[in-house]
Amino acid sequence: MSLTPHQIRILDSSERVTSAVSIIGTLFIICTFFFSPSFNKPINRLIFFASWGNLGASVSCLISELGPGSSTTGPVSGLCQFQGFLVQMFRGVDCYWSFCMAINVYLVFFRGYTTDQLRRLDVWYLLACYGLSFVPALIFLFISTKELGHVYGPAVIWCWITEEWDWMRFVFLYGIVWVSILFASIVYFMAGRVIWAKREHLNGFLNPLNESPFANTVITEIEITYESRTNLQSDVLPPSSPSPSHPNPYTIAIHASPPPPASPLPAHPLRMRSLSRTLAAAEPNAEAWLYARVAILFFFAMILTWVPASVNRIWQVAHPGAGINFPLNYAASLAFSLQGVWNTVVWVVTSKSACWGLWGRGRGRFEGRGRVLELGMGMGKSGQRLDSISSK
C-alpha cells in the first residue's frame, strides 16, 4: 500500500517547514561561532562541526517530494540522485559526531584528558565523520545494474537507497548508527555513575541551564615572596701563637674592612592557585566536565532524531508485506527535518549567557538607531517650524 496524494502533501509541507527552521537554526550556530567570540569555546566546537552535516541534511529535506516526483515517469533524475547523495552523506553525521563526543567523554573521565588534548583530535574526527561518509555516498552515484537499477532512487519519503538495494541501508547507515548509539550509551552510563558518585560537588552540573556549575568553588591564593642573598665567606685567621718574650724588629699590620652590604633584590611573588574542592584538584578540570555535559545533551538530541526512524525501520522488517505505515514515516521525516532545531536548542542552552549578551548588544544597537532616527525627525520638524516662521 503506497501513500495517498493527501498524505504526500502532508509529508511535503511538514518537511519543508521544519527543514527551513532547521536551516535558520544551523546558520545561527555557524554565524555566532564565526563572528562572536563568546560562542567560540571548546565545548561548542564539535557542535559547530556537526552543524555542517545538519545543513546538508536539511537541504535534502527541503527538496522533499521533488526528488521522488521527478523520477516517477522515467529514469532516475539528477535531482533525485543529488538528494540521495545528500541523505547518505549527511543523514548519519550527527550520530558519528555523537560517537566522537562519547570517545572524548571517555578520555576526559577515565584517561584524564584536557580540552587542549581533545582539540588535537578534531582533525581526525573531521576526517572520520565526513570523509568516511563521503566515500560511499559518492561511489553509490556510479553503481547501477540492469537487474537492480541505480542505487539512488525514490524511497517513499525522499530519494535515497532504493528497496532493491535495501541491504545497503543497514550496512552503510542504520548499522553504523546503532553501533554508535550503543557505544555512546555505554560510555555515558559509565560517566553517569561517576557524576552520580560526585553529585555533592556537581549540583550545578546536573542542571543543563546552569552554565557555571563550579561558580561556588572557593579559590585560594598563596603568595610566596623570596629574596636572593649572597653567601659571604670570610677567611678567619687562626689564633696567633703566643709571641715570644723577646721583641721582634719586624711588624706586619693587616687591616680588614667589612664588605659593603648587598643591596636586596626585589621580591618576586610566585602565585599558586588551588581549588578548595577535592573534585577540581583530583579530577578533570571544570571545562572538561562542562564539555561532557554538552556531549550528553547532544546525545539526547540525537536520540530524539533516530528513535522514530529506527522504530519505523524495525516495523518494516517485521511486517514486510504490510505496506507503508504513514504515522511512522511521518514521525521519522519530521524528526529528521528537525535535526538542526534540536542542535540549536543544545547550542542555546549551553551558551545561555552568550545568547543574552548577543541579544543585549543587538537590542542596544536597535534602540540607539531608533533614538537617532527620532532625534533626526525632531530636528527636521523644528527646522520646518523655523522655516514657516521666517516665511511669515
- Say what the pLDDT of residue 239 is: 52
CA gap 386, 377 in Å, rounded = 14
* Mean per-residue pLDDT over the chain, rounded: 77
**Residue range 329-354: average pLDDT?**
90
Listed range (153-167, 170-184, 371-385) with the worst mean pLDDT: 371-385
Model confidence, pTM: 0.72
- Say what the pLDDT of residue 77 is: 86
**Residue range 142-158: average pLDDT?**
89
Which residue would you say has higher pLDDT here, 88 or 294?
Answer: 88
The pair phi, psi for residue 170, each rounded to 5°, is -70, -45
CA gap 341, 334 in Å, rounded = 11
- Say what the pLDDT of residue 1 is: 58
- Say what the pLDDT of residue 276 is: 35
Model confidence at 275: pLDDT above 90: no
**Residue range 340-361: average pLDDT?**
87
Model confidence at 277: pLDDT above 50: no
- Say what the pLDDT of residue 289 is: 72
- Say what the pLDDT of residue 123 is: 93
The listed CATH number (3.30.1950.10, 1.10.8.60, 1.20.1070.10, 3.40.50.1110) that belongs to domain 5-214+285-350: 1.20.1070.10
Look at the chain and count its residues: 392
Which residue would you say has higher pLDDT here, 366 or 238?
Answer: 366
CA gap 148, 140 in Å, rounded = 13
- Say what the pLDDT of residue 291 is: 77
Which residue would you say has higher pLDDT here, 113 or 363?
Answer: 113
Model confidence at 42: pLDDT above 60: yes
**Residue range 295-306: average pLDDT?**
90
- Say what the pLDDT of residue 295 is: 86
**Residue range 238-256: average pLDDT?**
51
Q: Domain residue spans in the chain? A: 5-214+285-350
**What grid cell was written down for 306?**
533516530
CA gap 54, 29 in Å, rounded = 11
Model confidence at 280: pLDDT above 60: no
Model confidence at 210: pLDDT above 60: no
**Residue range 218-235: average pLDDT?**
46
Highest mean pLDDT pick, 78-82, 112-116, 200-204, 323-327: 78-82
- Say what the pLDDT of residue 268 is: 41
Model confidence at 144: pLDDT above 50: yes
CA gap 226, 267 in Å, rounded = 6
Cα 302–chain centre separation: 13
- Say what the pLDDT of residue 142 is: 93
**Residue range 313-321: average pLDDT?**
86
**Which amino acid is present at 172?**
F
- Say what the pLDDT of residue 29 is: 94
- Say what the pLDDT of residue 266 is: 45
3-class DSSP string for 314-325: HHHHHCCCCCCC
**Residue range 305-320: average pLDDT?**
89
Listed range (87-96, 199-208, 282-291) with the worst mean pLDDT: 199-208
> How many Cα atoms occupy the beta-carbon half-sphere of 82 within 13 Å?
14
CA gap 302, 305 in Å, rounded = 5
**Residue range 83-107: average pLDDT?**
92
- Say what the pLDDT of residue 73 is: 66
